[in-house]
Each structure stands twice: as structure tokens, then as C-alpha cells.
Structure 1
Amino acid sequence: MSMFTLHPQLAKDTVWVTDLALCKVLLMNDAQYPWLILVPQLADLREIYELNSEQRQMLWEESDQVSRVLVQVFNPIKLNIAALGNMVPQLHIHHIARFTTDPAWPAPVWGKVPAQSYEATVLESRLSQLREALA
């Protein structure tokens, strides 16, 4: 049985926020959107149906928790939640807080405009804010 390892593309594009019971919570390193990604810490997963019933329930509960934090902290007009996996096959669920003022609105965020990495002080502040809200 293989051990869980984070896909290299996710490791490159995100910053670790915290670990929940099932999932790693990652912040997409794109300051244009409050964007969290949940990654179940189980090896060799590609699809939600591969989780057992208890794991699926835990995934939805953690997704609900992350969604509520994004709404509480950022007050978006819409949340986009998606598990695409076309570029990164490892199971991961995007949670993106959306605003009419964001650069991709109302289109999906993928491929619309290049990512803008967080400045170090803004990143530290954002991580602190999210960790506190998720605690």
C-alpha cells in the first residue's frame, strides 16, 4: 500500500494552511481570489466515489467547514466548488470565493488571467486569518 504524497503541481501552486481530519487545506497562491483546496490525505485517489462512505461524509463535512469559513471571512457573492482533476489527477476540491469585481467574473477562474502570487506579508496575514477561522 502506498503512502499519501501531495501531487507536485499542487505542492508548487499552493501554500499549506492546516490539516483537518481527512484533508489537507491548501491556499492557492493567487492573491486575486480567496481560493482553498481540500486534498484527502489518502494515497492514489482520483475520484470521490473511490472514498468509502465514512470518508465521503467526512469530505463533505470538511467542504462545508471550508465553505462557511470562506463566506464568514470574505463575504463573497458566490462560492465555486469543483473537483475537476483534468490537469492534476489527484483528488482535490477547489473552493473559490467569487466577487463581481474579480478579474475572471463571471467566467470560471481557470485560464482567464495569470495567477498573481501573494506578497509575503499579505500571505502571512491571510494564512493566519484562515488558520484562526478553521481552528
Structure 2
Amino acid sequence: MAKGERPKDSRRLSRKKTKQKIFFDEVCRMTKLVPKNKLTTYGAIARAMGVDNYSRHVGFALGKVKASDGVPWWRVINSSGRISFRPKDRVGEGTRAKPFTSLQSIKLAGEGHTFTEAGAIVGWTKKLHDFNR
């Protein structure tokens, strides 16, 4: 390859990264719309973005959010009203008798949310943010 020449697929790779960055930024923007004491699901964000079947992608994007991004990622839960644990979200040591807790559950409790014995957020369906308003 001559000096200054780019590999053939570099345009495709940079375009793909650009699409990923656009998707990530849109997930962050949508998540920032969820007010305190409200919740949303990965699927609701995907639907609001017009990509109905991309809830897992929303989850992957939120998994990359840094504290410095100012994104309230903890307000996004799964379609069962529960937290989807992320490895770096665990707080403390867990045992079979007393499972570990998560930063997300601590932040949600700080906003007044409570949890059932099974781990679902009490009344979560009534606390969902409506992106159409």
C-alpha cells in the first residue's frame, strides 16, 4: 500500500462507527428525556427511536454510558419491570443468602422506587414515561 493510501474497507468501518455513534447519542438523548421518578424500558426507547426490535442494542449502548455523560441510565429497566444487571453495576459482595445489590437499585430507591421480593419495581407500569407527550 502506498504512503497515505487507506485500506479498502476503512470507509465502511468509519461509516459503521459513525452509525454506532449516532445510535448511541440518540439513546442517550432519549434517556435524558425520562424525568426523575419515572421509568422506561429498553424496548420503549427503541420504539421511540423508530427501531422497534433494537431493545438489546439500546441496552448495549446504555452499558457504555459513563458517569460523566450525565445520562440517567438507571431509569431504564427491562420489560419485566426489573433491573438487568451489568457487571460493573454490582455493589458489594454477594452471597446466595444475601445477593449483591446494584448501583441502579440504589439510585432508583433514592428516587422513591421500591422493589417486590422478586425484584420488580412496585407499580412500574404506572411510572412509565410517555415519549409521545
TM-score (norm 1): 0.25
TM-score (norm 2): 0.25
Which has a greater percent of helix?
2
